[in-house]
Structure 1
């Protein structure tokens, strides 16, 4: 287990919904724990009480490292970072947060009515973690959530990395893969998930089978929440207001983004830069983890050494 600050010890006690899970939740929690076992670094799990319920945060890396916050993609949970966590936590203190409205170990007790409250929920967690400044990485929907958080509370954010952010710069464009997903929506769940993965990843066979099992259970458990329709591309004014350095990475076979995303990132964000990852789809952090890890760390180090 990773060492934990004294301030965090009060958050290490597992709540009852974890220690005595419902019959519905137990298979998912077991699968989640199985995926955590493939992480190659020590970690600590925190359960932080918030206005809307309990936030589950996986912490790894040296206590002395600069804080790095990770926001996962839709239905992916914090375990999606298994190909990246070893590299990211060598020098940085990493905080991976499970989104409270999706499968994961966070647990909602009060309704969240709008995206402003989502930003407030993240901010409440960061306050309780006492992160006065931090870097943030968001993947897919997590990228949209990172920008939403930054537009509401950006003073503490030292840098932002967006991995194929969904609905952030451009609308998700119609494509052959998207059409196949619609067609397969009328098919079996197995076919739906298989097609979804093939459209999102350039190398499905590269995805760890233990993680896939968790992902499948999560998607069946809860695939969409009401805020999906509230995700719309941000405005020119929004991007121009971002004060921190921003790195945007997309795959060369990305069904969510294209070259226009990179052009906008470089042109509209004052300290924005963008790059394309070869032989990668939307799940670029899994398709090409070594390349993505290197680019992220080079970017973070450049910000840290400014």
Structure 2
């Protein structure tokens, strides 16, 4: 691990501006932390670590365009008992520096495997939201021996396909008022993003960088796992979905997961939508700690 890697974002103004907004969001982190880069076969992975160094590890994987800074409402509780590693997913808009986009489901699992090895983690709890939830289940299926327990929050696809409205709002992000329209559609009035974090999200949307915009592949993401894949899961899993989820029907996702994944704990959280870790942080924090503590 390298705490002082001398690398910079792309030289574009939008990249430099994004890094500034990321640092402003990281100032919201309520507990001591350290940041560093972990080298992998696909590039340098940026990580925010908190909690006691001797505590059991908990790897956190963020939602698309939100980066690891999104965990600021949750990290104080989770890092009280775990050594948390908030990992910037390579290829998404964040501080990780991809040199070769894996792009495939196997490649993404290998990337996370490299991160685990660099962190000297033999086995860890893993928690992911949205895109991070998709990565989490992908890793559980491909390398179950590295995962103790997995928490999946509002996973992108994974169990059911996106609603067509998702594509409409996601493709419209770069249009005038596109960010505002997207957030309003996703969160309604349940949650208003903190201003510095909202600026980071907007900067990420506007940061045009081909290295961080992987094109979908047939064997990549997004992806709905097959019945056989879901039936093969052996790692204990907690699935939390928001009752006001809009990117797909949460009841359909709940039913398919509960039917196919043996022993899964699946729950629809009242008063929450897609970003339930921000919309209902107190409940989610406690529910996660209860599940991981068994």
Q: TM-score, normalised by structure 1?
A: 0.87
Superposed counterparts of 1:267-278, under 5 Å: 267-278=259-270
Query: Shift of residue 115 of structure 1?
Result: 2.3
Counterpart in the other structure of 2:283:
291
Query: Shift of residue 117 of structure 1?
Result: 1.0
Counterpart in the other structure of 1:246:
237
1:110 aligned residue (100, 107, 129): 100
Give distance in 2, aligned partners of 1:240 and 1:174: 27
Answer yes or no: is 1:226 the counterpart of 2:218: no
Describe the SS at the equivalent of 1:120.
Answer: helix
Query: Is the 1:202–1:287 Cα contact (8 Å) retained in structure 2?
Result: no
Counterpart in the other structure of 1:143:
133
Give distance in 2, aligned partners of 1:276 and 1:205: 18
Q: Deviations over 1:179-227 (max 9, x none)?
A: 8627x83x97342111110121143653211101001000111485313
User: Which segments of 5 or more consecutive residues in structure 2 lack a partner in the other structure?
Assistant: none
Q: TM-score, normalised by structure 2?
A: 0.91
2:169 aligned residue (177, 181, 184): 181
Give distance in 2, aligned partners of 1:221 and 1:102: 11
Query: Is the 1:244–1:271 Cα contact (8 Å) retained in structure 2?
Result: no
Give distance in 2, aligned partners of 1:212 and 1:83: 14
Query: Is the 2:174–2:205 Cα contact (8 Å) retained in structure 1?
Result: no
Describe the SS at the equivalent of 2:144.
Answer: coil
Q: Judging changes above 3 Å, is the alpha-carbon distance between structure 1 residues 123 and 288 closer, same or farther for their aligned structure 2 residues?
A: same
Q: Could you say which structure has the greater relative contact order, defined with CA pairs below 8 angstroms and 6 or more residues apart?
A: 2
Q: Deviations over 1:268-291 (max 9, x none)?
A: 112201111111111111111111
Higher mean Cα deviation, 21-30 or 159-168?
Answer: 21-30
1:74 aligned residue (35, 46, 64): 64
Give distance in 2, aligned partners of 1:269 and 1:62: 33
Counterpart in the other structure of 1:58:
48
Give distance in 2, aligned partners of 1:194 and 1:43: 31
Query: Is the 1:254–1:282 Cα contact (8 Å) retained in structure 2?
Result: yes
1:131 aligned residue (121, 124, 133): 121
Give distance in 2, aligned partners of 1:161 and 1:40: 22
Counterpart in the other structure of 2:110:
120
User: Which segments of 5 or more consecutive residues in structure 1 lack a partner in the other structure?
Assistant: 1-9
Answer yes or no: is 1:32 the counterpart of 2:32: no
